Amino acid sequence: MPDNKNYKHVFRMIDVRKSFGKVEALKGINFDVGANEVIGLIGDNGAGKSTMVKIMTGVFPPTSGELYIRDKKVSHRHYNVRKAHRFGIETVFQERSLGEKQPLWRNFFIGRQITYPFGFINIRKEKELAQHIMLDLIGFRGAGITVDSQVSKLSGGERQGIAIGRAMYFDADLIILDEPTAALSLKEVQKVLNFTQKIKESGRACVYISHTISHVYKVADRFVIIDRGEIVANFQKSDISLQELDEFMLKYSTEKVVS
Ligand SMILES: Nc1ncnc2c1ncn2[C@@H]1O[C@H](COP(=O)(O)OP(=O)(O)O)[C@@H](O)[C@H]1O
Ligand SMILES: [Mg+2]
């Protein structure tokens, strides 16, 4: 998919606030994601990252502020998870468990079955497409893993890959990964980073949330740093080295403790 999209930003939020009772989780967030941009969203626990994701994916509305999808304003009242899917915005959750005992190909089409006109599931077609997603979209090269393998045989990174592949197949323009590598070994992390690279190469956008800066650094075009509900810094990768970014975060968190 070439990156000749007819919009500048796949998503944008302006002065977004979100309160949960007395807790002000987001305090006026301005944030945008370019059509083919990979954003590394970085911040401590409780900074507000997942709250941003939930607003972007229509789980709940902001308390105030504006949302734009593909440069067009969307009203909070009419935005929800179904709409987000229709607009091509997908999240890959760590905890979204695939059916363990099921063959892989079935998992691609849960809730979105391909059927014959009489309603029977078109197994041959689903297997073919699952094969296409695994090999062509995500470049899946797991040893001995085929569309017929049981989900329980997959490693953590491979599971993320399946979920990413599914989002790509269903034509997501923006794929959001909220701490995708939190529970993974280094080797598995590398797989997820490779899958993220595929998202970029296919012309899509991605928001990659992590607090391991060295992971985000490899895949992101730009880094957005959030702290206690506010965006505090924004760096193009070309303007900052991994070491400088590391030092910034370290300095920032020490100053926070002092102040
Ligand atoms: N549903 C909720 N109800 C009440 N408080 C919440 C809820 N979700 C998040 N919060 C609070 O909002 C703040 C931001 O949380 P979150 O967005 O999950 O942070 P992060 O993902 O960066 O760790 C935290 O103080 C958290 O306790
Ligand atoms: Mg979170």
Same domain, 86 and 119: no
Same domain for 247 and 143, yes or no, is: no
Pocket test for ligand 1, best of 13, 17, 20 (most atoms within 8 A of CB): 20
Q: Are residues 107 and 92 in the same domain?
A: no
Give yes or no for residue 23 CB within 6 A of ligand 1: yes
Query: What pLDDT does 165 receive?
Result: 83
Torsion of CA 205, 207, 213, 214, to 10 degrees: -30
Residues 67 and 105 in one domain: no
Domain-embedded: residue 159: no
With beta carbons less than 8 A apart as the criterion, state whether 233 and 225 touch: yes
Distances (CA, A) of 58 to 61, 72, 75, 130, 178: 7, 15, 11, 28, 15
- Examine residue 252 and state whether it is found in any structural domain, yes or no: yes
Query: Which amino acid makes up residue 14?
Result: I
CA distance 174 to 203: 10
Q: Which of 13, 19, 23, 26 to mutate to test the pocket of ligand 1 (most atoms within 8 A of CB)?
A: 23
Q: Are residues 198 and 238 in the same domain?
A: yes
| CB 46 less than 6 A from any atom of ligand 1 | yes
Q: Is there an atom of ligand 1 within 6 Å of 43 CB?
A: yes
Separation between Cα atoms, residue 140 and residue 105, nearest integer Å: 13
CA distance 227 to 52: 12
> Does 32 share its domain with 91?
yes
Q: Is residue 169 part of a domain?
A: no
Q: What's the pLDDT tens digit per position in 15-45? A: 999 999 999 999 999 999 999 999 999 998 8
Q: Is 48 in the pocket of ligand 1 (CB under 6 A)?
A: yes
What was the pLDDT predicted at 2? 47
Q: Phi-psi bin for 246: left (phi > 0), alpha (psi -120 to 50), beta?
A: alpha
As given in the structure block, the two tokens for residue 195 are 């899958």
pLDDT digits (tens, 9 = 90+) for 40-64: 999 988 999 999 999 999 999 999 9
Evaluate: CB of 182 within 6 angstroms of ligand 1.
no
The answer to whether 62 touches 190, Cβ cutoff 8 Å, is no
Query: Is residue 162 situated within a structural domain?
Result: no
Contact 49 CB / ligand 1 (< 6 Å): yes
Residue 164, φ and ψ in degrees, nearest 5? -65, -45
Ligand 1 atom having least distance to the Cα of 229: 14
Count of domains observed in the chain? 2
pLDDT reported for residue 186: 83
pLDDT the model gives residue 257: 62
Verify that 92 and 179 share a domain, yes or no. Answer: yes
Q: How far is the CA of 170 from the centre of ligand 1 (A)?
A: 29
The whole-number pLDDT of residue 166 equals 81
Q: Is 161 within the bounds of a domain?
A: no
**Type of residue at 67:** L
Q: Does 122 share its domain with 67?
A: no
89 and 14 both lie in a single domain? yes
Establish if 60 belongs to a structural domain.
Answer: yes
* pLDDT beneath 70: ranges in the chain: 1-4, 93-98, 142-143, 256-259
Q: Which residues contact 87 (CB under 8 A, 6 or more apart)?
A: 69, 70, 74, 173
Residue 4 lies in a domain: no
| Pair (77, 66) in one structural domain | yes
1 ligand 1 Cβ < 6 A: no
What CATH number corresponds to the domain at position 70? Answer: 3.40.50.300
Q: Which domain holds residue 141?
A: 99-153
CA of 134 to the centre of ligand 2 (A): 28
Cα–Cα separations (whole angstroms), residue 31 to 37, 48, 236? 13, 13, 14
Q: Is residue 219 within a helix (H) or strand (E), and if so which, with residue range?
A: helix 213-219
CB atoms near residue 231 (< 10 Å)? 20
- Looking at the structure, do residues 245 and 180 belong to the same domain, yes or no? yes
The pLDDT of residue 10? 97
pLDDT at 228: 94
Domain-located, residue 170:
no
Residues 26 and 149 in one domain: no
Tokens for 207? 């928001």
